[in-house]
Copies of this chain bind each other. A is one copy, B any other.
Amino acid sequence: MRNTNRQWRLKRFPDGLPSEDDWALVEGAIPEPGEAEFLVRAIYLSVDPYMRGRISPQQNYAAGVGLDDVMQGGAVGEIVRSNHPDFAVGELVENIGFGWQDFAVLGAPGTTKVDPALGPISAYLSYLGMPGLTAYFGITEVGQVKPGDTVVISAASGAVGQVAGQVALALGGHPIAVAGTDEKLAWCRELGYEAGINHATTPDLVAALAETCPNGIDVYFDNTAGPIHDAVMQNLALNARIIICGLISQAATFGQPDIGARYLRNLLVARARMQGMLVFDWADRYETARAQLAAWAKAGTLRHREDVLVGIEHMPEAFLRLLTGRNFGKQLVQVAEPPAGAT
């Protein structure tokens, strides 16, 4: 086991798209757990779009990262020292407050025990974790997908999108993928998406969606905002539901106003509902949802794809890949080997 702790610390607030030198990798001592705490060694670190909002001085839904703070982020790791009676050395845990580092001292709040029987341990950062739960509650609770609904999903092969499409399908919906490469779309079709639109090469998204969804769009799972959102708003079915989950198309202009056409009249005419969501609001139902997702995965109904870089030095690079759509599937960074027996 390593005898130092490497940490990515924020050096400056990026203006628009971050660059790798907005963070610095520093090496220091491994911290000691206090009373009712435990020390966790990271195995997989997660990068997620929400992190862009954490490195802005602007208001967001969670407190941001300050200058010289360790960058925020979730991880799956192994307990290597423990002063907590309920958390034993050797147990695997997930915590969204881990940080971009090798080791973190954690407590019980916010820590989820990883059950390797439910799936690969990295799945606690993808389809059994925050992105998968976001997709699950977004489709079921906010989108309220019913059999026969046409469900358009942007960033359809991403960590959230890939699960959202398959949950929509499991509920009897007709998922339509929007993604930025033909390879991503081909894989979405394998997952069961009924059609796909490449937003990078389609000149008229409004017309393409109208052709693909001739009866209008009942549910839109919006991971991107931007031009895909705009095109969907011009193709709403009566009583459409729009799940505002992510705004990754705006990563390069973060903090600047998003100027463009507004669609209140479309909302009115369609009597549609647009709702912002954050998965934490369903925390008391994670366990049930995770059991359902794991059952679907075991049955082959839910498949998933990860994009794994190896080595903590790749964290900013992994994050930038994600913000610019160069990842393919859930973006992870593996920083240590899983313990024997776990995958």
Given contacts A244-B267, A264-B247, A265-B247, contact A275 B276 (CB under 8 A): no
Contacting B at CB under 8 A, from A55-72, are: 59-61
Nearest neighbor of A280 in chain B, beta-carbon distance: B271
Does A261 make an interface contact (CB < 8 A)? yes
Does A270 make an interface contact (CB < 8 A)? yes
Complex contacts, A265 vs chain B, CB 8 Å = 225, 247, 250, 258
Interface string of A15-37 (1 = CB under 8 A from B): 00000000000000000000000
Given contacts A268-B247, A272-B275, contact A259 B258 (CB under 8 A): no
Complex contacts, A225 vs chain B, CB 8 Å = 262, 264-265
Q: Shortest beta-carbon distance, A323 to chain B, in Å?
A: 15
In Å, the complex CA distance between A64 and B246 comes to 37
Interface string of A313-326 (1 = CB under 8 A from B): 00000000000000
In Å, the complex CA distance between A244 and B277 comes to 19
Number of A interface residues at 8 Å Cβ cutoff, please give it.
33
Does A281 make an interface contact (CB < 8 A)? yes
Contact of A259 among B262, B267, B275, B281 (CB under 8 A): B262
Contact of A258 among B222, B250, B264, B273 (CB under 8 A): B264
Q: Shortest beta-carbon distance, A199 to chain B, in Å?
A: 17
In Å, the complex CA distance between A246 and B267 comes to 11
Contacting B at CB under 8 A, from A267-312, are: 267-278, 281
Number of identical monomers bound together in the oligomeric complex = 2
Complex contacts, A222 vs chain B, CB 8 Å = 264
Q: Shortest beta-carbon distance, A304 to chain B, in Å?
A: 24
Contact of A61 among B247, B269, B273 (CB under 8 A): B269
Interface string of A222-260 (1 = CB under 8 A from B): 100100010000000000000011110010000001111
A273→B274 contact, CB < 8 A: yes
B281→A271 contact, CB < 8 A: yes
In Å, the complex CA distance between A260 and B61 comes to 24
Complex contacts, A247 vs chain B, CB 8 Å = 264-265, 268
In Å, the complex CA distance between A277 and B277 comes to 21
Q: Shortest beta-carbon distance, A235 to chain B, in Å?
A: 12
Nearest neighbor of A254 in chain B, beta-carbon distance: B265
In Å, the complex CA distance between A257 and B229 comes to 15
Complex contacts, A261 vs chain B, CB 8 Å = 257-259
B275→A274 contact, CB < 8 A: yes
Contact of A245 among B268, B269, B273 (CB under 8 A): B268
- Given contact pairs A258-B264, A273-B273, a sample of 15 additional A-B residue pairs in the complex whose CB atoms are under 8 Å apart: A61-B271, A244-B264, A250-B265, A258-B265, A259-B259, A259-B260, A259-B261, A264-B276, A268-B276, A268-B277, A268-B278, A271-B277, A271-B278, A272-B276, A273-B276
